[in-house]
């Protein structure tokens, strides 16, 4: 391998296919990664990369020497809530003309965050296919953004209403005190 070749991705086309673009939290689906190679190389792994990233807008006051006063500085905090590698295949030798499709199983956690895009908070779900290569940049597919939402059917639970022992107004069975008189609920 030439010296400059170690800085280039393998001449390989990687395609990720998923059945749709929006999924409820807690869902499981199967996607595929198709690898089409025009070059010979050794792949260490073929995988899908699933990420859930939250960006939150923050502000702080910083003293500016030139202005001799405090100025507001805005920045974005970034937190990765989920970083999962979905293994499709182990090490393999790839030759020119190689073409194969690998299945991947994706499980979205029930307790995850739903996709959100607002002025102050962004929650993004991303997935891409990767052909990992030692000592060279990985060949990757285009990154797809998933729309992840809360399943409204499972989110709505019926709450039983009980009469308050003291004022007789109705209160939810989940509350520890009456919302009207403030008396503690008897068990």
Q: What is the pTM of this model?
A: 0.72
Which fold is adopted by the domain 4-149?
Answer: Immunoglobulin-like (2.60.40)
Give the tens place of pLDDT for each residue, 151-171: 765 445 677 888 888 888 888
SS3 123: strand
Give the tens place of pLDDT for each residue, 27-72: 999 999 999 999 999 999 999 999 999 999 999 999 999 999 999 9
Q: Is 153 exposed, middle or buried (0-12, 13-18, 19+ CB in 10 A)?
A: exposed
Q: Taking the domains of the chain in order of start, what are their residue ranges?
A: 4-149, 160-187
């Amino acid at each position: 391998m030439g010296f400059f070749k170690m800085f280039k991705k393998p001449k390989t086309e990687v395609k990720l296919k998923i059945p749709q673009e929006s999924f409820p939290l807690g869902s499981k689906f199967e996607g595929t990664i198709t690898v089409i190679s025009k070059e010979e190389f050794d792949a260490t792994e073929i995988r899908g990369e699933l990420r859930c990233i939250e960006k939150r807008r923050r502000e702080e006051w910083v003293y500016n020497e030139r202005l001799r006063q405090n100025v507001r500085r805005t920045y974005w905090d970034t937190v990765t809530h989920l970083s999962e590698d979905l293994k499709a295949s182990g090490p393999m030798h790839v030759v020119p003309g190689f073409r194969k499709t690998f299945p991947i199983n994706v499980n979205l956690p029930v307790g995850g965050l739903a996709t959100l895009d607002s002025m102050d908070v962004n929650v993004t779900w991303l997935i891409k296919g990767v052909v990992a290569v030692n000592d060279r940049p990985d060949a990757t597919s285009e990154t797809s953004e998933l729309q992840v939402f809360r399943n409204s059917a499972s989110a709505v639970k019926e709450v039983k209403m009980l009469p308050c022992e003291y004022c007789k107004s109705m209160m939810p069975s989940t509350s520890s005190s009456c919302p009207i008189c403030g008396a503690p609920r008897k068990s």
